[in-house]
Chain A
Amino acid sequence: MSNLIFETSREGRRCVILPSSQMHGDDVYNEYIRESALELPEVAEIDIVRHYIGLSRKAHGVDNGFYPLGSCTMKYNPRLNEDAASLPGFAHLHPLQPEHTVNGSLKALWHLQSSLCEVTGMDAFTVQPAAGAHGEFTGMLLINAYHQSRKDTARTQVIVPDSAHGTNPASAAMAGYEVISVKSNDKGGVDIDELRSLVNEKTAALMLTNPNTLGLFDENIKEIADIVHDAGGLLYYDGANLNAIMGLSRPGDMGFDVVHLNLHKTFSTPHGGGGPGSGPVGVKKILEPFLPNGTIIKENDHITIKNDSEVSIGRMRSFYGNFLTNIRALTYILSLGGDGLKEASKNAVLNANYMMEKLNDLYTVAYPGTCMHEFVVSMEKEKHEYNVSAKDVSKALLDVGIHPPTMYFPNIVHEALMIEPNETESKETLDFAIQTFRDIYHTAMTNGQALRDAPLTTPVKRVDDVLAARSPILIYKKP
């Protein structure tokens, strides 16, 4: 382990020596003066650079190697996106600039919103939400606003499948709804009979991911949509897995009323720390009036900002969302075009099926059959018979420079490994990963201890995640 930046701190060391302040104390409002020292690390510029470059070399990203993290769509982020996002006309704007000086940027956002409408089959979009779960929360507020506007106020429940992303029930609960879980059937889709028994005059919405977290397309989607709509509820589409269906199938055509997308998944913008993310929300006409203020709209052929709508759910974020992230996604869409997006999805599905076919003689696929963009295997049998768990396989992958799949999710599959190779990986990379998975499996059969000891080549070896969760140390204390 390397030192923390706090541990490299030396009193009085600076990056830049600033001249002493010309301001006197009485120039500043007293209430804004700190009473205690801030105690930021005091380091020279070279120390900072080495510290963070050192950390970056210990991390694993898409630019380092294969990253088949299920449901996260860790595709390559084309450098062209960065090129467009760093154009001075975009990069040097101030968020408070008057509208008439940023027409070009508003037009770019409008173009993105329109493109996302086209891809999803929705009527209107907002690019304001900052990430996926923020989009979900926005969608729940939109659904609530719709029901309230119709004086249909007794709808207090949101139905979520037991295979859903954890953010779905969390977002519904954050918006004040009671979450009702619907079981999956033996094919991994929504249990239609149970759904029928759960919908009623309290149903505000069903949240669904299609293809779902098992990598399966729910063939009953039309029937599901009818069941929910007939009960007066709306259909919410979690777009986390849109990468499987671009240009092939549209949530809007399946009957969904609200969708959120993760631009940092399907539309090749950076994830997490390198982000920020972006979680645009699209709606059908009936929900359009409620979209957040700040959404880009077109009025009489004039692109402008929706500002003071009374029925809007209000602003979900300051200014224009994560603007430059949205520019990156627009760049991706324009550089691939309609045919390119379709090809990306087809190759994502092909790559997942290729890996699954090459592994399913060893690994147990939880729901066998053709998958979409990802598939889930279960290590339950191996855990019982050889004491080798999904976690042990994941740790062993680290030793060969592959990021592990999503593990222990979805919850309905025990000892789950959820593998999503995505379309930007070559056959050679997939073949290397397949061989690695196979080698690890054979090691599990013959020398399980080697896997339980992994990883051995990483900067941090096997961590005690139980201790970390039970007694986390979250702040640095000066010794």
Chain B
Amino acid sequence: MKVLDHLFYTESHEWVQFLEDGTALVGITDFAQHELGDLVYVNLPEVGDAVTAGKRFCDVESVKAVSDVYAPVNGVILEVNEELTDAPEKLNTDPYGAWFVKLGEVSGKERLISAEAYRSQTE
């Protein structure tokens, strides 16, 4: 299972990429997509919504089940990746490229774990 070194992770299998302008992209990990199976629907939140670390902010549907996705950090949604609405399979084929949201006003990084820690959690 792929774990990228330059990202941060949560125990609930989300990843965060901190961009240079202070914003952050959020997605689900390779491990998560593998466990969920083929994803068929993504229920995205709206731009402007505030998210709270550890609280659900969107959900994904596979042929097996609907699963919540939790916010890894606090923030405000600046952008949502509308591409996923028409192509949820991107979450399976390119989990680290298929971000859900771009967050601004990012805070509360206590839940995040390093790539190394996440790797050992999923092994």
A binds B: yes
Name B61's closest neighbour in chain A (CB-CB). Answer: A469
Q: In the bound complex, what is the Cα–Cα distance between A469 and B38 (angstroms)?
A: 10
Task: Point out the residues of chain A lying under 8 angstroms from B75, CB to CB.
Answer: none
- With a cutoff of 8 Å between Cβ atoms, the chain B residues found around residue A470 in the complex are 40, 88-89
**Residue in chain A with minimal CB distance to B35:** A414
> Are the CB atoms of B65 and A411 closer together than 8 Å?
yes
Tell me how far the C-beta of A2 lies from the nearest C-beta in chain B, rounded to whole angstroms: 25
- Is B1 positioned at the interface, with any CB of A under 8 Å from its CB? no
> Which A residues lie within 8 Å of B88 (CB)?
470
Q: How far is the CB of A198 from chain B (nearest CB, A)?
A: 13
Q: CA–CA, A409 to B41, complex, Å? A: 19
Q: Could you list 19 A-B pairs, sorted by A, with CB under 8 Å? A: A166-B66, A408-B64, A408-B65, A409-B65, A411-B65, A411-B67, A414-B35, A465-B63, A466-B38, A466-B40, A466-B63, A469-B38, A469-B40, A469-B41, A469-B61, A469-B63, A470-B40, A470-B88, A470-B89
By DSSP majority rule, is chain A's interface helix, strand, loop, or mixed? loop
Minimum C-beta distance from B121 to chain A (A): 16
A465 to B35, CA, bound (A): 17
Chain A residues closer than 8 Å to B64, beta-carbon distance: 408
The minimal Cβ–Cβ distance linking B68 to chain A, given in whole angstroms, is 8
Q: How large is the interface on B (under 10, 10 to 19, 20 to 34, 35 or more residues)?
A: 10 to 19
Which chain B positions have C-beta within 8 A of A166?
Answer: 66
- 8 further interface pairs, Cβ-Cβ under 8 Å (given A466-B40, A470-B88): A408-B65, A409-B65, A465-B63, A466-B63, A469-B40, A469-B41, A469-B61, A469-B63
| Chain B residues with CB below 8 A from A469, complex form | 38, 40-41, 61, 63
A441-479 contact mask (Cβ, 8 Å, vs B): 1 or 0 = 000000000000000000000000110011000000000
CB distance from B106 to the nearest CB of A (A): 24
Q: Total A-B pairs in contact (CB under 8 Å)?
A: 19
Report A343-366 CB contacts with B as 1/0, cut-off 8 Å: 000000000000000000000000
CA distance A466 to B39 in the complex (A): 8
| A residues near B63, Cβ cutoff 8 Å | 465-466, 469
A141 to chain B, nearest CB (A): 24
Q: Which residues of chain A are near B40, meaning CB under 8 Å?
A: 466, 469-470
Among all A-B residue pairs, the 4 with the closest Cβ atoms:
A469-B40, A408-B64, A466-B38, A465-B63
* Cβ distance A176 to chain B, nearest Cβ, rounded Å: 17
Chain B 65-96 per-residue mask, 1 if CB under 8 angstroms from chain A, else 0 = 11100000000000000000000110000000
Whole-angstrom CA separation of A409 from B65 in the bound complex: 8
- Which of B35, B40, B64, B67 has the most A CB atoms < 10 Å from its CB? B64
- Tell me, in angstroms, the Cα distance from A414 to B64 when the chains sit together: 10
How far, in angstroms, from A368 to B108 measured CA to CA in the complex?
40
A466 proximity list for chain B (CB < 8 A): 38, 40, 63
Please provide the chain A residues from 140 to 173 with a CB less than 8 Å away from any CB of chain B in the complex: 166
Interface flags, B50-72, vs A, CB<8A=1, else 0: 00000000000101111100000
Interface hub of A408, A409, A465, A470 (most chain B Cβ within 10 A): A470
CB distance from A304 to the nearest CB of B (A): 43
Distance (Å) between the CB of B31 and the closest chain A CB? 13
Which residues of A in the span 357-415 have a Cβ within 8 Å of any Cβ on B? 408-409, 411, 414
Closest-CB distance, A194 to chain B (whole angstroms)? 14
Q: Which residues of A sit under 8 angstroms from B61, Cβ to Cβ?
A: 469
CB distance from A466 to the nearest CB of B (A): 4
A414 and B62 CA atoms in complex are apart in Å by 14
A276 to B35 Cα, complex, angstroms: 36
**Complexed CA–CA distance, A408 and B67 (Å):** 12
- Bound Cα distance from A383 to B89, whole angstroms: 22
Q: How far is the CB of B39 from the nearest CB of chain A, in Å?
A: 9
Kindly list chain A residues whose C-beta atoms are within 8 Å of the C-beta of B35: 414
Type the 1/0 row for B24-59, where 1 means its CB is closer than 8 Å to any CB of A.
000000000001001011000000000000000000
In the complex the two chains form, what is the Cα distance from A437 to B64 in whole Å? 22
* Most chain A Cβ neighbours within 10 Å, of B40, B66, B88: B40
Q: Chain A residues with Cβ under 8 A from B38's Cβ?
A: 466, 469
In the bound complex, CA of A437 to CA of B61 (Å) = 29
Instruction: List residues of chain B with CB within 8 A of the CB of A411.
Output: 65, 67
Most buried by A among B65, B67, B88: B65
Minimum C-beta distance from B9 to chain A (A): 20
* Identity of the chain B residue whose Cβ is nearest the Cβ of A170 in the assembled complex: B66
In the complex the two chains form, what is the Cα distance from A32 to B67 in whole Å?
Answer: 45
- Tell me the minimal C-beta distance from A180 to chain B in angstroms: 10
Query: What is the distance, in angstroms, from A373's C-beta to the closest C-beta of chain B?
Result: 23
Q: How far is the CB of A390 from chain B (nearest CB, A)?
A: 9
Please name the residue on chain B nearest to A409 by beta carbon. Answer: B65
Residues of A within 8 Å of B66, CB to CB, are 166
**For residue B67, which residues in chain A have a CB less than 8 angstroms away from its CB?**
411
Write the chain B residue with the least CB distance to A470.
B40
CA distance A139 to B71 in the complex (A): 31
Alpha-carbon distance between A245 and B66 when the two chains are bound, in angstroms: 30
State A411–B89 Cα separation when bound (angstroms).
21
Q: How far is the CB of B74 from chain A (nearest CB, A)?
A: 18
